A and B are shown apart, each in its own frame.
Chain A
Amino acid sequence: MTREITHSQAVNEAIAEEMRRDERVILIGEDVAEAGTPFKVLSGLVEEFGTDRVIDTPIAEPGFMGMAIGAAMTGMRPIVDLMFGDFLFLVMDQLCNQAAKTHYMSGGKLKVPLVLRTNLGATRRSGAQHSQSLQALVAHIPGLKVALPSSAHDAKGLLKSAIRDDNPVVIFEDKLSYQDKAPVPEGEYIVPFGEANVVREGNDVTLVATSSMVQVCCEAASLLEANDISAEVIDPRTLVPLDERTIIESLKKTSRAVVVDEGHRNFGVTAEIASRISEKAFYHLDAPVVRMGAMDVPVPFSPALEDLTVPTPQAIAANAGRIFRGDLLHAI
């Protein structure tokens, strides 16, 4: 049986199911209990699991991140709630110097099974410190797995995989899509890491899209279809590990790719994926791989400026159309 639920409900269900399944799973973060977070994603959990397992913290991100690592090393399975992805900068030392390296530095003796849940996405008029998409930063660090669900279905399935994983996992939710609905099975399921989703099949151009950009690329694909260009949309779903094979297979068919992610373009997720395509599918390519991401500026507050910084279906379709026609390759 499948019903439609929101991204937010999907996250809530995943956590509730895993907390029922395994007593060691705990939630920790700011206003996660009675308030259920500012996004109301966690509403109801404290009523079921109590304040021992759904723990409200002071505003001390490096502190509770560090404590979650210690708890994870000693038998718990914490889910850390980081209210905004932008606050990653506060926890980077604990996450990247401690959590990411502990298993390796201990020669495989210690492990840190924790999940850091946070979010990404601009255009919410929240200003430069509440709008960033920072997945590239953590994907850069060996030892961390990184997941980017783009639908309610994947939000639930990937989060359940993350909670069961014995490694530190950072999972980014798209804060603008919490109320979006999608079909989600009633029963138990997980979405394994490292398996891309072919969201839409096509032959002429591949749009590789993550998180918030998957929907935008689907809209771009519809625009392209009206011009008789058939676009395939691929959502890698996890950056680490990356399902390179599905992407390369698609490229062998289409020979053209646009890679879209809401992080900054410069030294970002799209750069990595584009270069893997160039390395692994070079002889299949008919055009340079195009990268699109958030404009390389801090996210401006003014709506008149903010809307310019995020890729739109029109801009993606335009770039895909150009490489399809072989136009203006040098200008991209």
Chain B
Amino acid sequence: MNSGRKNNAEQYLRMYRQMVRIRVFEDQANQLYLSAKMPGLTHMYSGQEAVAVGICEALTNEDRITSTHRGHGHCVAKGAEFKAMFCELLGKEEGYCRGKGGSMHIADQNHGNLGANAIVGGSTGIATGAALTSKLLGKGNVTVCFFGDGATAQGLWYEVMNMAALWKLPIIYACENNGYSEYTATAEIAAGAITARAEAFGIEAHRIDGQDVLKVNELAENLVSRARKGEGPFFVELETYRFSGHHVGDINREYYRSKDEEANWRLNRDPIKNFGDWLESQSIADADELVAIGNEVKASAEAAVAYALDAKFPDSSEVDMHVYVGVDHALPYIDGSSK
């Protein structure tokens, strides 16, 4: 792997920590679901941490991302904090979106996260538009569009990829191929190679192991810096795996995915465990230090959950706020009585 690794120790430990934060966040979210404290359902990112962290570590606060229904990982990796995230999952006023969005719509404006999305493939246009802004304003920032293998079936992506290529937009399309869309294997829904789809537009395409955070990060650093110079767009397919069901309620899933397959990924291709082993083998951290990171993150997540459980719901008067910019309350505005 990388030379100069001692110099990078701080960065490596931060990446490790960020991956642990995602895993711990999801474990807590799952507990909230199982104990019936969370409204609705949520899609866990566990298993895919190296993708979000490896890529987001190559970005600055001014760079943008768009995210998906499986979006907690992207959100954490881009700099979000636990309290406001858990508050959002529980529909509380202090959530990132004041409880109005929920798990599938978390957005974190301060860190350039333009939002998760509950329409599969729905963010490809938004991401490409953000890249157009970057180009027009000439600020040199980059947008990363995260989406799943399932989203590659949506036509919108091909329309915007064509324009991104024509206009050399600073965007990286990051396809997290976790082998499934809902209850269907990728092989059954994707004809040909996914990289070839981007190549058809003359876009430089890569396919890499999405479980190796250093490899992901190295590629991301390279593509981001080139995109800043106007050499984009780029496409990356990251081979990864979701350790849990499609959502927290998807418990009996052997009809579409075998227990052996799941066990094998968990045992041999856990991005956090493998990176931890590497950190130890390189004497960057010892086992105790890694355990300490885990414990500390867990304690902070538990504190955030406790905080969020106690936090206030939004006041009922908020229900018709934020429908229109510049309008305090939509209902009297719509019927004209607020004039």
Contact = CB atoms under 8 A, between A and B. Distances in A.
Main secondary structure of the interface of B (DSSP, over half): loop
Contacts of B101: 127-128, 301
Contacts of A125: 39-41, 91, 102
A270 to B, nearest CB: 14
A296 interface: yes
B165 interface: no
Contacts of B91: 125, 301-305
Contacts of A304: 91, 99, 313-314, 316
A35 B256 contact: yes
B154 A305 contact: no
B183 interface: yes
Interface stretch (B1-9, B19-27, B116-124, B287-295): B116-124
A62 B155 contact: yes
A20 interface: no
A56 B184 CA distance: 9
A302 B256 contact: no
Interface string B151-189: 101110000000000000000000000000111100011
Contact of A30 (B102, B155, B182, B334): B182
B100 A300 contact: yes
B85 to A, nearest CB: 13
Contact of B334 (A86, A124, A296): A296
A119 B111 CA distance: 36
A302 B102 contact: yes
A309 B314 CA distance: 14
A249 B255 CA distance: 53
B228 interface: no
A43 B154 CA distance: 26
Interface in B75-112: 91-92, 97-105
B233 interface: no
Contact of B330 (A63, A124, A297): A297
A63 B155 contact: yes
Contacts of B97: 301
B102 A301 contact: yes
A305 B100 CA distance: 8
A81 interface: no
Contacts of B188: 56
B318 interface: yes
A196 B256 CA distance: 43
A30 B39 CA distance: 25
Interface string A118-131: 00000011111110
Contacts of B39: 125, 301-303
Contacts of A128: 100-101, 105, 118
A188 to B, nearest CB: 32
Nearest to B87: A302
Interface in B244-262: 255-256
Contacts of A282: none
Interface in A45-94: 56-60, 62-63, 86-87, 90
A90 B101 CA distance: 21
B34 interface: no
Contacts of B120: 59
B37 to A, nearest CB: 11
B118 A302 contact: no
A86 B331 CA distance: 22
Contact of A58 (B118, B122, B190): B190
A209 to B, nearest CB: 22
A273 B13 CA distance: 64
A38 interface: yes
A302 B97 CA distance: 10
A34 interface: yes
13 contacts: A35-B184, A57-B189, A58-B153, A58-B181, A59-B121, A86-B119, A125-B39, A127-B102, A127-B105, A300-B99, A301-B103, A304-B91, A305-B319
Interface of B: 39-41, 91-92, 97-105, 117-122, 150-151, 153-155, 181-184, 188-190, 255-256, 313-314, 316, 318-320, 323, 330-331, 334
Q: Which 6 pairs of residues, A with B, have the shortest CB-CB distance? A: A301-B102, A302-B91, A125-B40, A58-B153, A302-B99, A304-B313
Interface of A: 30-31, 34-35, 38, 56-60, 62-63, 86-87, 90, 124-130, 266, 295-298, 300-305, 308-309
